[in-house]
Structure formats: structure tokens, C-alpha cells
């Protein structure tokens, strides 16, 4: 009890912890509830949120369902090539992004980065990259290099770099530092330390993050076409523009099946990898 | 039989049970070779114009030069309101997802309701597969263009991930308080209220905040299909080649997302600590 009491002030840095005062807690909860309530009311007004509208538009929904079903099965063969392009975009950008992410992760892992300045710059650059949604990157690259799968591949590569480098650098910060010391003790420089001390320890996680990035890329790449960056989304966009919802539904169904299949396989592979880590460590 | 195997393993000493499994390099190089070949095929057949790959840095620099300095006045007057709309959509969408996912998160937890676990987890898995953008494609014709459709899409899609991770949180909790409540004569409802919720609520609240951060990015792109928010502003300005205005959008979204991430991250840390 006393140990608890003496440890807390050091953590919070402000005097001894006062005994729990029910009124203070109540007032604080009240203020929090008020703020959140105001935020919600503001959002309801701003977005025009109205469940009544949703239910009064059920006739509209009925018409949409009539338009959408049955899906245009005859359209399915024409989806083969766009889907292939989607998968290619996702795979190529997972590989390219994954390869670029590796050195960046080394530079933005605190105990491994050669200089503190390098660590700070690299870490913050990663965070900056991650603030922009994948489709925004796709729009920007489409403006830079023109419409098509090239723009999509560039966008998803950047996105993969951001995701993999962040996860991998966190894994690198959690490794067993004793191994690094051992490499240094036997005369290894910084490069040898990374190659023989760091990389073997994080390799399974690295592969698992690559698979995860590939899954994210698949999901992102099916909608890239909405902004003109290639893949099956291009077909989706053109059918949407013609309000051909039977074909739209066919495309959505196909996306659903493909994403589900790839995720199942990838998740299985990832679980095996993580399982190997667990058994290998013990 | 069992005696002989235990004797054998103890006979070979700790090496038998503790030595690492010998690395099986049998398939490794083949898999690597296959993946590299697949990459070569995918990269070469992908429609990538050679010249554009070579002058990519130049093109990016040119676009950057056109976007910066951004049109500040446009940023204040047109981009900021759109960004606020995106924030509102993300907030309300997260609330919808939270309200819908909480019962599913509790009912799908195998340690509380063993029979319901499998169907609920399957349902949540299916919801997660459909991206917000595809949901929005069907919601826009029903409720009309605008932020309402986007909010609903975000809310529905959030249920999948929130439900699954809530399941995980509930499944990893301490079961002894349940026993205590049951011993005092509490039924299922009392158990949920006094044994489950106090344990899992901080983590679930932190999870909701995390989802809010994700939804903020999602709401930013929904404008692409006319479902409100800042996405349409960027797309329009880029397609009319008004790059200084597009630059203003980029600046606003980067600053807003960084600020909200920092705020939400700090709140999450406090929630999980206390």
C-alpha cells in the first residue's frame, strides 16, 4: 500500500495522490459526458444524420435491391483481367514497399539507429507518411504520372512502406539486446550487428508483416480504380457511372470472394509463422 | 511404450526436448525463387510506362512545386469545413459501430456464451471484408449523396473489427469476479454489469478511440463516391488541375490527422493505464 502510494507521485510528477473523492470523479465524468454529448450533437447536425430518413427511404432501398439482384453473372468473365491487374498491383507494391521498409525500419528503431538524429527524422517521416489515406496517395500519384496501374502501384508501395516500417521498427525495439552485444563483443561493427544480431531475430515478424501489408493492399487495390489508379475499381467506376447495379453487384460479389480467399490463406500463413516464433523461442 | 519414450527423452537429456527443431531449408529456396519469379512476371506485365518510371522523381518534384505554396484562403474557407465534416462522420460512425458492436462483442465471447461464438465471429468476419467504400456505393442511392451515407458506411464497417477485438478482450479477462457475482446470487445480467463490464470497459473504450483514428482516414476518402467529407474536394481540385488548392487539402488533412492521432493516443494511454 505504502509502496504504491510512494511510487505514484513520482510517475505523475504532482504531489501525493489524493484519496479518491467521489464528487470529483462525478464532476469529471459529468464534464466528459457533456463534452462527448456536445460533440455528438454537433456531428449529428453536421452530417445530416437522420434515422427517420433511412426508414422513409425504404422504397428506394427496395428499388436498389431489385436493380442489383440477380447479379449480372454474364459479366463475370470480363472481370478476369482487371482482377489480375488488381492482384499484380497489390503484390508488386507489397514487395517493393517491403524492401524499402527494411532499411527504414532499421533507421527508425531506437536502439539500433546509428544516430539519434537519424532515428528522429526517420520516425517522424514514417508518421507523416501514414497520415494520408491510401486513396489520397493514389490521387496524387495519378496526377503526377497519369491514370493507370502505375499510379496505384506507387501509392500502395508508399502505403506499404509506412505500415511495414512502423510495425517492423517496433518489433526491432523489442528484441533481445544481448545478441547485439555478443556480435559487438566479437568485433562486429554496426553493419554486422544489424545483419547478424537484429535481422535474424525479426525475420518471422517481417514476413508476417509483409503478408499483412499484402492483405491491406488487396483491400485497397480493389478501390484504387475509383480514382483512376488501375485494377478492378476502374470497371466498378464505369458501371457505377451507368447505374448498372446488376453489374456493380457482380463486381462487389467477386471482390468479396477474392478478398475472403486471399485473407484466409494469408492469415493461415501468418498464424503458422507466429506459431513458429512461439515454439522457436521456448 | 510411454515409459520407453519418456526414458528415451530423459536419456538424451535436455537436448532431446529443448534443442531447436533443425531448420528445414528444403522448401525455402524454392518458395523464394517462386515468389521472385512471380514478382518479375507481375512487374513486367503490369502496364508501367518505362519513361515514366525513369522521370518519376522529376514528375513528383514538379507536382510538389505546383501544390506548394498552397492556397491558404481556399484552405480556410472551403477545405476546413469539409475536414470538419469528415471528423463528424468519423465520430458518429465510430459511435454507431461501438453501439452495434458491444452486444456482439459480449455475445460472441466464447468464455461467456460458448454456443454463440462461432456464428457471431463468422458474421463479424464477413462484415470486415466489405470496405466502407463499397458499402457507401449501396447507401448513396438509398439515403442520397452526402455525409449521412458515409457515416452509415463507416458505422457498419466498424462493427466487424470492433466486434472481433471486443471478443478478444472479453475472452482474455479474469473469470473469478464472475464466480463471485454468481456466488452472491447474480444472474447473467448482474454478471455482465458487475463482473464483465468493469474489467473490459477501459480496454474497449481505448479500442473505440483507436477505431476513431482509423475512421478519420476512411471518412476522408468516402467523398470519392459522393458520400461526403474532404475526399471529393481533393479529387475535384486534382481533376481540374488546381494544384495549389489540392495542396491546401493535403496540408489540412495531414495537420488534422496528426493532431487527432496525438490527442486520441494520449487518451488511450490514460485509459489503459488507469
Share of chain B above pLDDT 70, in %: 89
For the cut 70, the answer to whether the pLDDT of residue A1 exceeds it is: no
ipTM: 0.78
For position A160, what pLDDT does the model report?
A: 92
CA A218/CA A222 separation, integer angstroms: 6
Residue A282's pLDDT band, with cuts at 50, 70 and 90, is: very low
Among chain B residues, CA nearest to A264: B125
> Residue B88 and residue A47: Cβ atoms within 8 Å?
yes
For position A74, what pLDDT does the model report?
A: 79
For position A72, what pLDDT does the model report?
A: 76
Do residues A213 and A94 touch, judged by C-beta distance below 8 A? yes
List the grid coordinates of B217: 482516414
Chain B residue numbers touching A150 (CB-CB < 8 A): 46-49, 52-53
Phi then psi dihedrals of residue B71, to 5 deg: -75, 100
For the cut 50, the answer to whether the pLDDT of residue B36 exceeds it is: yes
Question: What confidence tens digit (pLDDT) does each residue in A109-147 have?
Answer: 888 888 888 888 888 888 888 888 888 889 888 888 888
Chain A residue numbers touching B138 (CB-CB < 8 A): 64, 68
For position A98, what pLDDT does the model report?
A: 92
What is the length of chain B?
274
Give how far B103 is from chain A: nearest CA, Å.
20
Do residues B183 and B195 touch, judged by C-beta distance below 8 A? no
- The pLDDT of B243-256, averaged and rounded, is 89
Chain B residue numbers touching A142 (CB-CB < 8 A): 238
Give the residue from B260, B259, B153, B257 showing the smallest Cα distance to B209.
Answer: B260
Q: Which of B63, B133, B238 sits opposite A226 (nearest CB)?
A: B133
Question: What confidence tens digit (pLDDT) does each residue in B60-98 have?
Answer: 888 888 888 888 788 788 888 889 999 999 999 999 999
For position A157, what pLDDT does the model report?
A: 92
B residues 103..142 contacting A (CB < 8 A): 126, 129-131, 133-134, 137-138, 141-142
Q: Which long-range contacts (CB under 8 A, 24 or more apart) does A25-32 make?
A: none
Give the residue from B177, B250, B42, B22 showing the smallest Cα distance to A136.
Answer: B250
Residue found by looking up cell 456531428 in the block = A43
For position A131, what pLDDT does the model report?
A: 86
> Residue A47 and residue B148: Cβ atoms within 8 Å?
yes
List the grid coordinates of A131: 497520415
- The pLDDT of A197-223, averaged and rounded, is 87
Question: What confidence tens digit (pLDDT) does each residue in B167-222 have?
Answer: 888 888 888 888 888 888 888 888 888 888 888 888 899 899 999 998 998 888 89
For the cut 80, the answer to whether the pLDDT of residue A272 exceeds it is: no
Sorted by sequence, the CB contacts under 8 Å of residue B110 that are 6+ apart come out as B117, B167, B171
CA A240 to chain centre: 27
Give the residue from B225, B215, B212, B224 showing the smallest Cα distance to B249.
Answer: B224
What is the length of chain A?
282
* Coil, strand or helix at A280: helix
> Residue B46 and residue A150: Cβ atoms within 8 Å?
yes
Amino acid at each position: 500500500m505504502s509502496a504504491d502510494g510512494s511510487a505514484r507521485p513520482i510517475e505523475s510528477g504532482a504531489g501525493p495522490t489524493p484519496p479518491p473523492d467521489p464528487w470529483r470523479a462525478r464532476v469529471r465524468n459529468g464534464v466528459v459526458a457533456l463534452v462527448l454529448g456536445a460533440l455528438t450533437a454537433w456531428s449529428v447536425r453536421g452530417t445530416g444524420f437522420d434515422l427517420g430518413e433511412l426508414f422513409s427511404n425504404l422504397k428506394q432501398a427496395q428499388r436498389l435491391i431489385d436493380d442489383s439482384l440477380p447479379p449480372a453473372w454474364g459479366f463475370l468473365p470480363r472481370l478476369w483481367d482487371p482482377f489480375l491487374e488488381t492482384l499484380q498491383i497489390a503484390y508488386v507494391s507489397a514487395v517493393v514497399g517491403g524492401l524499402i521498409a527494411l532499411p527504414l525500419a532499421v533507421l527508425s528503431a531506437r536502439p539500433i539507429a546509428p544516430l539519434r538524429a537519424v532515428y528522429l527524422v526517420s520516425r517522424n517521416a514514417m508518421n507523416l507518411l501514414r497520415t494520408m489515406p491510401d486513396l489520397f496517395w493514389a490521387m496524387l500519384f495519378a496526377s503526377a504520372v497519369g491514370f493507370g496501374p502505375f499510379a496505384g502501384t506507387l501509392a500502395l508501395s508508399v502505403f506499404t512502406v509506412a505500415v511495414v516500417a512502423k510495425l517492423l521498427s517496433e518489433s526491432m525495439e523489442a528484441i533481445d539486446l544481448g545478441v547485439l552485444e555478443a556480435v559487438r563483443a566479437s568485433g562486429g561493427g554496426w553493419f554486422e550487428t544489424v545483419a547478424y544480431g537484429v535481422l535474424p531475430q525479426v525475420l518471422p515478424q517481417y514476413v508476417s508483416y509483409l503478408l499483412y501489408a499484402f492483405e491491406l493492399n488487396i483491400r485497397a487495390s480493389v478501390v484504387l480504380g475509383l480514382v483512376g489508379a488501375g485494377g478492378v475499381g476502374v470497371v466498378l467506376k464505369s458501371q457505377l457511372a451507368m447505374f448498372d447495379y446488376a453489374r456493380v453487384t457482380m463486381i462487389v460479389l467477386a471482390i468479396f470472394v477474392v478478398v475472403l480467399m486471399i485473407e484466409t490463406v494469408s492469415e493461415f500463413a501468418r498464424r503458422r509463422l507466429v506459431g513458429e516464433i512461439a515454439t522457436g523461442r521456448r | 511404450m510411454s515409459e520407453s519414450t519418456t526414458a528415451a527423452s530423459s536419456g538424451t537429456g535436455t537436448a532431446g526436448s529443448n534443442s531447436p527443431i533443425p531448420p528445414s531449408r528444403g522448401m525455402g529456396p524454392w518458395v523464394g525463387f517462386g515468389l521472385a519469379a512471380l514478382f518479375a512476371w507481375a512487374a513486367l506485365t503490369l502496364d508501367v510506362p518505362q519513361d515514366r518510371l525513369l522521370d518519376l522523381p522529376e514528375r513528383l518534384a514538379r507536382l510538389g512545386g505546383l501544390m506548394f505554396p498552397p492556397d491558404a484562403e481556399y484552405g480556410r474557407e472551403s477545405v476546413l469545413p469539409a475536414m470538419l465534416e469528415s471528423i463528424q462522420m468519423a465520430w458518429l460512425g465510430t459511435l454507431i459501430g461501438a453501439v452495434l458492436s458491444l452486444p456482439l462483442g459480449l455475445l460472441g465471447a466464447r468464455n461467456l456464451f460458448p454456443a454463440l461464438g462461432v456464428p457471431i465471429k463468422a458474421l463479424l468476419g464477413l462484415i470486415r471484408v466489405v470496405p466502407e467504400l463499397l458499402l457507401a456505393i449501396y447507401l448513396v442511392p438509398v439515403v442520397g449523396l452526402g455525409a449521412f451515407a458515409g457515416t452509415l458506411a463507416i458505422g457498419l464497417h466498424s462493427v466487424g473489427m470492433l466486434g472481433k477485438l471486443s471478443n478478444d478482450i472479453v475472452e482474455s479477462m479474469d473469470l473469478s469476479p464472475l464466480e463471485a457475482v454468481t456466488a452472491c446470487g447474480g444472474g447473467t445480467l448482474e454478471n455482465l454489469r458487475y463482473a464483465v463490464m468493469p474489467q473490459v470497459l477501459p480496454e474497449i473504450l481505448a479500442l473505440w478511440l483507436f477505431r476513431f483514428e482509423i475512421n478519420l482516414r476512411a471518412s476522408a476518402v468516402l467523398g470519392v463516391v459522393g458520400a461526403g467529407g474532404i475526399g471529393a474536394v481533393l479529387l475535384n481540385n486534382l481533376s481540374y488541375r488546381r494544384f495549389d488548392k489540392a495542396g491546401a487539402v493535403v496540408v489540412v488533412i495531414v495537420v488534422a490527422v496528426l493532431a487527432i492521432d496525438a490527442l486520441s493516443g494520449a487518451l488511450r494511454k490514460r485509459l489503459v493505464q488507469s
